[in-house]
């Protein structure tokens, strides 16, 4: 998978939470790469490790969690050995930034938008007040907000406007990688479409590389160039937009099921299919393939041996015994 275009490369990332119940294998041996100017979609059910993976990329895993193995290379530089101070000064928000899940509801209600954004600038860059203000206005315009927003308080803004403010703040220090964690989940459909369009426009204009997390495969089809499908802390399928949504469709039974459970507006179906059961407890993940207890095509081998990612066609990787003959 080595490529000089890779702006971000994750190798065998392992994140564990050390809880009283035991060691939780939240992210287990995850490897992927992000190319320059690409949107990488990360999908899976809740609790499968999507958010933990990207928090790992920011080195912001809350205790009792810890990165216990692997490498995270941003433009060839491993950030795992870096200290917290170095992360804050050099990496976070300057090279890689994040729109957190529900961030639009976490704006401080007692500060104006301008003041909150000013805080971010002053924390990171030495800049004259007026210059910083000009820059804030620039970025607000860039996300489609008028100038007078800087004097407004969060309660005066709609959900869509708050999400735009959060996106502007994430872009502000000119990062090359932006992670968006469920940026459209709490929004109405029309606003959702507007935010997705905004992210696409910004990506093109600023040459960003984006990691877009959602549990909705339909949303992902609109934004992602390539998809990572995660289940119970492991990547089960990697494929391009065409490979996953195209005629052949996904190959891993989990992705296949997930796609079938996604309602389609323009198709009348009598019965939507679903995946019975729930994702496993990651303190004691199932042996072999972690999906085997919920898989309808389970074989004896699946219960014993852990499948690894195998390339079945150029750029399309799956971890499944059923579909990889060896």
Partner 1 sequence: MISEPILKVENLKEWFPVRRTIAQILKGERTWIKAVDGITFSINQGEIFGLVGESGCGKTTTGKLIMKLLEPSEGKIIFKGKDVTHLEADKLKEYRRNVQMVFQDPYASINPRFRAQDVLEEPLIIHQMGETRAEREKIIRRALEEVRLIPPEEFMERFPHMLSGGQRQRVATARTLVLSPSMIVADEPVSMIDLSTRAEILHMMKTVQRELGLTYLYVTHDLSTARYFTDRIAVMYLGKIVEMGGADEIIDNAFHPYTKALIAAVCEPIPGKSNTIKEVPIKGEIPSAANIPSGCRFHPRCLYVKPQCQEDEPILKEIDLGHQVACHLIS
Binding-site ranges for partner 1 (CB under 8 A): 39, 45-46, 158-161, 188-194, 196-197, 200-201, 215-225, 241-242, 244-246, 257-259, 261-266, 268-269, 271-276, 278
Distance CA 31, CA 225 (A): 17
| CB hemisphere CA count around 25 (13 angstroms) | 17
Among residues 41 and 175, whose Cβ is nearest to partner 1?
Answer: 41
* Distance between start and end Cα atoms, the chain: 21
Helices (H), the chain: 50-57, 84-86, 113-124, 129-142, 159-171, 189-206, 217-223, 241-245, 253-260, 300-304
Among residues 37 and 69, whose Cβ is nearest to partner 1?
Answer: 37
Q: Which two tokens stand for residue 26?
A: 């939240």
Strand partners, 230: 235
Q: Which residues contact 22 (CB under 8 A, 6 or more apart)?
A: 283, 284
Distance CA 72, CA 69 (A): 10
Whole-number minimum distance, CB 216 to partner 1, in Å? 6
Among residues 120 and 262, whose Cβ is nearest to partner 1?
Answer: 262
Q: Which two tokens stand for residue 286?
A: 């199932």
- Starting at the edge strand that comes first in sequence, how are the strands of the sheet with 177-181 ordered? 96-99, 177-181, 209-214, 39-43, 226-231, 234-240, 316-318, 310-313
Among residues 110 and 189, whose Cβ is nearest to partner 1?
Answer: 189
Among residues 45 and 94, whose Cβ is nearest to partner 1?
Answer: 45
Whole-number minimum distance, CB 204 to partner 1, in Å? 9
Whole-number minimum distance, CB 281 to partner 1, in Å? 11
Whole-number minimum distance, CB 214 to partner 1, in Å? 9
Distance CA 37, CA 42 (A): 16
Among residues 79 and 195, whose Cβ is nearest to partner 1?
Answer: 195
Whole-number minimum distance, CB 153 to partner 1, in Å? 16
Whole-number minimum distance, CB 202 to partner 1, in Å? 12
Among residues 81 and 276, whose Cβ is nearest to partner 1?
Answer: 276
Whole-number minimum distance, CB 126 to partner 1, in Å? 37
Nearest CA-CA partner of 5 in 280, 257, 226: 226
């Amino acid at each position: 998978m080595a490529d000089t275009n890779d702006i971000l490369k994750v190798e065998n990332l392992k994140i564990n939470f050390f809880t009283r119940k035991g060691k939780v294998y939240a992210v287990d041996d995850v490897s992927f790469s992000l190319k320059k100017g690409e949107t990488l979609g990360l999908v899976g059910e809740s609790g499968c490790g999507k958010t933990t993976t990207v928090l790992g990329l920011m080195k912001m895993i809350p205790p009792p969690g810890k990165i216990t193995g692997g490498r995270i290379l941003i433009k060839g530089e491993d950030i795992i050995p870096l200290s917290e101070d170095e992360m804050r000064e050099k990496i976070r928000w300057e090279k890689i930034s994040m729109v957190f899940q529900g961030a639009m509801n976490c704006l401080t209600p007692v500060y104006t938008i301008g003041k909150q954004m000013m805080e971010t600038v002053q924390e990171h860059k030495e800049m004259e007040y007026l210059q910083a203000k000009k820059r804030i206005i620039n970025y607000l315009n860039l996300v489609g907000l008028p100038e007078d927003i800087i004097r407004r308080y969060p309660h005066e803004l709609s959900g869509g406007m708050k999400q735009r403010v959060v996106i502007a703040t994430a872009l502000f220090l000119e990062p090359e990688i932006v992670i968006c964690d469920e940026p459209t989940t709490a929004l109405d459909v029309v606003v959702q479409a507007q935010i997705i369009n905004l992210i696409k426009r910004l990506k093109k204009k600023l040459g960003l590389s984006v990691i877009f997390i959602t549990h909705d495969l339909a949303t992902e089809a609109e934004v992602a160039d390539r998809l990572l499908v995660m289940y119970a802390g492991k990547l089960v399928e990697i494929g391009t937009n065409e490979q996953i949504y195209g005629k052949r469709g996904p190959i891993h039974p989990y992705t296949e099921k997930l796609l079938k459970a996604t309602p389609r507006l323009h198709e009348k179906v009598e019965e939507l299919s679903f995946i019975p059961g729930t994702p496993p407890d990651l303190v004691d993940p199932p042996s072999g393939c972690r999906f085997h207890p919920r898989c309808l095509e389970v074989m004896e081998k699946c219960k014993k041996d852990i499948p690894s990612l195998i390339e079945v066609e150029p750029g399309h990787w799956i971890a499944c015994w059923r579909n990889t003959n060896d």
